[in-house]
Amino acid sequence: MIVRIDHLVLTVASIAATCDFYSRVLGMEVVTFAGGRKALSFGAQKFNLHEVGHEFDPKARRPTAGSADFCLITETLLDAVVAHLAAQNVVIEEGPVDRTGATGPIRSVYFRDPDGNLVEVSTYAASA
């Protein structure tokens, strides 16, 4: 029945710091919606942002900054991603390494955002 993810919510310590990081490091578009709320848009998805202590209802039972672990797919060559991360002073924790994505083999690098969320950026074998 489900065909795709529309959005996820990231609970963060600072919406401003999160918007800066994801727009600068990953090229996501910062969008404002519904009463000044912020989101990070990419492809046909987005991350809605909730600041710790100022979450919107309904919400996760225990929203916590730094508890996310997710994989983002890019069509950019992974070597270029690694070079861009270095230029942005982002420390790669692991990779490039081979992993398995939702639809097949991927090559990934792992790093952390300002809240300590684990971000995996990957390319599928056909685009690697």
Does 128 have pLDDT greater than 50?
A: no
Chain centroid to CA 117: 8
What structural domains and CATH numbers belong to the chain? 7-124 (3.10.180.10)
Question: Residues 21-68: pLDDT tens digits?
Answer: 999 999 999 999 988 999 999 999 999 999 999 988 899 999 999 999
Alpha-carbon gap, residue 107 to 89, rounded angstroms: 21
* Residue keyed to tokens 């994801």: 22
- Which of 29, 51, 94, 120 is flagged as catalytic? 120
Are β-strands 45-51 and 92-101 bridged in parallel, bridged antiparallel, or unpaired? unpaired
Annotation marks residue 93 as catalytic: no
> What pLDDT, on the 0 to 100 scale, is given for residue 23?
98
> What pLDDT, on the 0 to 100 scale, is given for residue 51?
96
Alpha-carbon gap, residue 42 to 10, rounded angstroms: 14
Nearest to 70 by CA among 14, 19, 22: 22
Question: Residues 74-95: pLDDT tens digits?
Answer: 999 999 999 999 999 999 999 9
The torsion defined by the Cα of 29, 74, 22 and 56, in degrees rounded to 10, comes to 70
> What pLDDT, on the 0 to 100 scale, is given for residue 125?
80
Does 126 have pLDDT greater than 80?
A: no
